Each structure stands twice: as C-alpha cells, then as structure tokens.
Amino acid sequence: MGPVELLHMSVFSQSFSPCGRFLAAGNNYGEIAVFSLSSSLSPEATEINRKPILTFTAHEGPVFSLLSTDTHLLSAGNGEISAWSWTELAKRNTKAVWIRRPQYKLSLEIPEINAMVINARDNSLAVGGGDNNVHIMDLESGIFKSVLQGHTDYIHCLSIREREGELLSGGEDGAVRMWDVRTGQSVHCVEVYKYEQCARPQHGKWISCVTTDSDWMLCGGGPSLSLWHLRSLSPTSVFPLSGCQRQAMFYQDLILAVGEGHFASHCLLGGEVKSLIPCTPPSLNTLALNTNSTEHRVLTVGGSSDQIDVFTNLSYRAFSLSF
C-alpha cells in the first residue's frame, strides 16, 4: 500500500471480537485489518504492535459495515454480506465462511449495504442499504425472510430497540422509521427535518446516525443531533454540534458522538456539550466501544485517515493503530 493510498484511506467500520482481544476495521479499499488489542495495550508495546496482525481484501467495494456475532465477523460491502470466523482470523486464515446477497429488484446496479444489525430475539440479521429497503435474514438458515419497504431513499443506519423488538432505520430521505419486525409494517415515521428545533436546512435532511436504548433515541445527520423520547415521539434535547454526526452512542450517563470535525464529542443528556476530544483523523466516521472485555475496555474511532485512535481513558487519546 503506497503512501498515496494511505493518504486517501478512510476507515468506515469497526467491530470488536467476541473475546474482546481483537479489533477488525474496514476501509474504503475493501480491506479488513485485524488488530490485536492485547499486544498493543501491553506496557511494552512498540510501533509493530500498532500495526494489524492481518490485512486482507474482503470486498470489491468499501466495507461500510462490520458486525460481530458470538463466533463470526460479518462484513458488508457492495451488496453482499460475507461471514468470517473469528477463530480462523486469529490464525490468519482468510477464507469466508459464507457469502450471501439479499434479493434485489433492480438487476442493473448492485446497491451497497450501509448498515447491519442483529436482532437477538429471533436470531436474524437486518441489513439496509442502497435499494431503500431493509432486508431481514435468518442467521441459522441464511434465508432472507422479509423486506421492509417504506423509505424513499437509501438507508444510512439501523438500530434495534431491544425491549420492544422494534427496528429503527434512518435514511437519506430524512425519515426515521420504526418497524415491527414480525408484521413488517412501519409503526412510526418521524421526519426529523420537519421539527424546527432540529432542522438545519443548510446541511440537508438526511439522517446518518440512529441509536437507541429502548426509551430514548439519538438521531442526527443533516439535522442536528437530537435526543428523542420514544414513547411520546418528541425531541427533548438538541445538541449544538457544528458538523454532521455520523455515529453516536449512549455510554453510562454520556452521549458520545463523532462526525465532521476532528474531535469526538461528549455530551450530557440535557443538551450541553461537555467536551470535545481531539483525534487524529480530520473527519470521523465510526466509533466503537469494547464492551466484550474488561481489561481491554477501550474506545476506538476511525475516519478519513489510516490511523485509528484508541482511547483507554475517555478523556484523551492514548495512541493510534495504523492500517
């Protein structure tokens, strides 16, 4: 990988292994790199430990989404979903366990898959992407059970409401739709840009990040990042962040968000921005927290750079892994 390619690399997705010792990251060249967290976090780590233990080309197009189940790593690129076994990856064996593709109606171009999420209740995988629909696949059998239609433009992000078993999807058309997975119907549709306090017409109406913790929902993108109460479907707080946020998550009593701008924002639920932590990439795409391991509990962010910043303490960047 030459220096020019490294300069133009963007990291789009990340996922931690189920044991919590490895991090997989996907970039815009279709490659997935596996980093060993235990060696890079150890006290005697050197530059070599910050490089991946394994890099391989997984897809032809960019790897927009990575997801880990208990045993496998799922990656999605240009319209297809590949599964890799984590134990095999640790042994540097890069053969895919399976590759599947949802049934697309348009046969001319293959729509990209932007987001994947697992519904633990019925062991199914929901994928959303360029064909404006959410496809639901049963993980056991690999059959695509249903298609949720309703969005009028491509889907950016998906999230699961654990308690109610609902799926939330946010798309380019500015709508956040809540789906009941069993009936396949859209239960609610919230058009965020229509709410005056959230809308930012200068940025657009697209929703690029949706996340929920059953009672509350965070969504943002063109409109400002806002916190919504799901029972009443009303926006309770709007966060004054300047750029468009690409990923957000709830963590303890904070909200962590990354997007345009070279910092990770920590916000409080009331609407204040508590702090902006500077990071190396000039613009961030993905934020991941390692909840699978207690001793490697780190936060990693990646964006328009070949460096992935690792935070051991949320308040400052500890070091960077590089592709």
Partner 1 sequence: MNEVIRKRLLIDGDGAGDDRRINVLLKSFTKWCNSGGSPEEGFTQYQRMLGTLAQCEFSMGKTVLVYNMNLREMENYEKIYADIEQSITSAHDKIAECKKEILRAKRIRKNRQEYDALAKVIQQHPDRHETMKQLKALDKELQQLSRIKENVEDKLELRKKQFHVLLSTIRELQQTLENDEKLESDESQDCTMENGQ
DSSP 241-277: -SS-EEEEEEETTEEEEEEBBSEEEEEETTS-EEEEE
CB of 241 to partner 1, least distance (A): 17
Question: What's the closest the beta carbon of residue 239 comes to partner 1, in angstroms?
Answer: 12
As a whole number of Å, the end-to-end CA separation of the chain is: 10
Nearer to partner 1, 33 or 241 (CB): 241
Number of residues this chain uses to bind partner 1 (CB under 8 A)? 15
Q: Which is nearer to partner 1, 133 or 237 (CB)?
A: 237
User: What would the DSSP string read from start to end of 138-197?
Assistant: ETTT--EEEEEE--SS-EEEEEEETTTTEEEEEETTSEEEEEETTTTEEEEEEEGGGSTT
Work out which of 253, 313, 315, 316 binds partner 1, going by CB under 8 A: 253
**Site residues for partner 1, window 192-251 (CB under 8 A)?**
215-216, 227, 229, 232, 234-237
Minimum CB–partner distance for residue 45 and partner 1 (Å): 25
Question: Which of 19, 53, 54, 269 contacts partner 1 by CB under 8 A?
Answer: 269
Q: What element of type H or E holds 96?
A: none
Whether the Cβ atoms of residue 293 and residue 256 lie closer than 8 Å to each other: no
Binding span for partner 1 by CB under 8 A among 56-64, 83-91, 265-273, 276-284: 265-273
Please state the closest distance from residue 232 (CB atom) to partner 1, in A. Answer: 7
> What is the DSSP-derived secondary structure letter of residue 112?
P
Scan for tokens 């990209």, then name that residue. Answer: 112
Shortest distance (Å) from residue 235 CB to partner 1 = 8
- 39, 271, 289, 322: which one binds partner 1 (CB under 8 A): 271
Residue 272 Cβ vs partner 1, minimum distance, rounded to whole Å: 10
Q: Do the Cβ atoms of 186 and 179 come closer than 8 Å?
A: yes
CA 202 to chain centre: 25
Residues of this chain that interact with partner 1 (CB under 8 A) are 215-216, 227, 229, 232, 234-237, 252-253, 268-271
